[in-house]
Amino acid sequence: MKIYLDNAATTPLDQNVFEAMTPYFLNHYGNASSQHGPGREAGQALEASRATIAGLLNALPEEIVFTSGGTEADNIAIVSAVTCNHIDHVITTPFEHPAVLQTLRALTAKNHTRISYIKHDGKGNLDLSHLEYLLRTNTRNLVSVMHANNEIGNLNDIVQTGELCEKYQALFHTDTVQTMGHYRHDLSRLKVHFLAASAHKFHGPKGVGFLYRSKGQRLNRLIHGGGQESGLRAGTENIPGIVGMAKALEIAYGQMEQDHSYIQNLKYHLITRLTETLPDVQFNGNSADLNKSLYTLLSVSLPGTDTDLLRYLDTEGIAVSGGSACSGGSASHVLKALGTDAARTAIRFSFSKFNTRAELDQVAEKLAAVFRLAAA
């Protein structure tokens, strides 16, 4: 039995994506910067993929910059926004991914950039009136707020956030790594200047992502070398990965409503089963609220037990996590910011279109068995 419920860390590659990538490993292997036939062929695939992604997002192709993933995209966006626009005040949340928080801390140490954190309630809901206060009482602001949290699944209102940024002439960066391919993003309407995404979160390959930067926004190079990506990001482009990412996003947009409904029903089913079988289960943040959380993720806290639940589930062939895969097993800054009881075991279940209700029934039963044994 192998049950994979850690899709927030990475998703399995879609077979159709693999098939789209394969020719660019075996047959069309030219360097997109080369001027000969194979190079031009690779260059055409590169620009066709850029056009596909831009078209799905209602963006301009030149606004899409390919990166090695979401972390690099976040780093480029934040460093560029601060240094190219003389930003001296960044407004963010304590729940952001380390790619954002650690970049901001590095900038604070180097550039004396001030950081303010938006107030939140016990569920992690952001106080947008406090955001407006911070915008109104400071100048030269950058706001960095993720669309959905990767540990507790809270959805943030990036539409209203963008409108507030426009009202107070602030720059807005959002990390959409958990929502790209799962929600529709219309960048012709969203008031955002920088947006980060990563292919392996929507059944594309690892090691490739993109940064959207709205027209007119300058970028600072983090990687120096050749003139790839219109001189914005040096390094030979990962053509198979970029082709796969475009294909994965195309598939995701084509069946988004169907997948959303199917996966949300899986999540609701697990909520129901856990509530029935584990009366002391707690749900972190807005995780159990289907209207306020990412439909692909459920974060729970279970009472303390002598059993290492994560390791136990692993030995039973069930892959889950305690939080962000990027945290390397360290204590979750997200759960700490929420004030979650550290004595309880946090488990993050995250789902994909490849999961089934039968799998979730097995998971609920395995967990219930542990607590029945402990109570015996």
What pLDDT shows up at residue 359?
98
What pLDDT shows up at residue 308?
93
The DSSP bridge pattern shows strands 282-283 and 297-302 to be: antiparallel
Q: Is 15 buried (19+), middle (13-18) or exposed (0-12) by CB count in 10 A?
A: exposed
- Using CA atoms, how far residue 22 sits from 19, 27, 205, 245, 251, in Å, is 5, 8, 12, 13, 17
Which segments in the chain show pLDDT lower than 50?
A: none
What pLDDT shows up at residue 326?
62
What pLDDT shows up at residue 296?
98
Using alpha carbons only, what angle is made at residue 323 by residues 180 and 282, rounded to the nearest 5 degrees? 105
CB atoms within 10 A of CB 306: 7
Residue 177 corresponds to which amino acid? V
Rounded to whole angstroms, how far apart are CA atoms 49 and 289? 36
Q: Sign of the CA dihedral 339, 343, 348, 349?
A: negative
- Using CA atoms, how far residue 106 sits from 91, 207, 343, in Å, is 15, 23, 32
Query: Contact 282/300 with Cβ under 8 angstroms?
Result: yes
What pLDDT shows up at residue 136?
98
What pLDDT shows up at residue 375?
57
Domains by residue range for the chain, with CATH: 3-11+255-375 (3.90.1150.10), 15-254 (3.40.640.10)
Rounded to whole angstroms, how far apart are CA atoms 252 and 16? 11
Angle between helices 239-254 and 256-277 (to 10 degrees): 80
Residues recorded for the chain: 376
Query: Which residue numbers are catalytic?
Result: 326
Rounded to whole angstroms, how far apart are CA atoms 9 and 200? 9
What pLDDT shows up at residue 257?
98
> Token pair for residue 233?
């990001």
Q: What is the 3-state secondary structure (H, E, C) of the chain?
A: CCEECECCCCCCCCHHHHHHHHHHHHCCCCCCCCCCHHHHHHHHHHHHHHHHHHHHHCCCHHHEEEECCHHHHHHHHHHHHHHHCCCCEEEECCCCCHHHHHHHHHHHHHHCCEEEECCECCCCCECHHHHHHHHHCCCCEEEECCCECCCCCEECCHHHHHHHHHHCCCEEEEECCCCECCECCCCCCCCCCEEEEEHHHCCCCCCCEEEEECCCCCCCCCCCCCCCHHHCCCCCCCHHHHHHHHHHHHHHHHCHHHHHHHHHHHHHHHHHHHHHHCCCCEECCCCCCCCCECCCEEEEEECCCCCCHHHHHHHCCEECECCCHHHCCCCCHHHHHHCCCCCCEEEEEECCCCCCHHHHHHHHHHHHHHHHHHHC
Residue 199 corresponds to which amino acid? A
Residue with tokens 């960095």: 144
Q: Which residues pair with 154 in a beta bridge?
A: 293
Rounded to whole angstroms, how far apart are CA atoms 336 and 327? 13
CB atoms within 10 A of CB 21: 22
Q: What is the model's pTM? A: 0.95
Q: Sign of the CA dihedral 141, 187, 243, 259?
A: positive
Of 197, 199, 225, 201, nearest in space to 213 by CA: 197
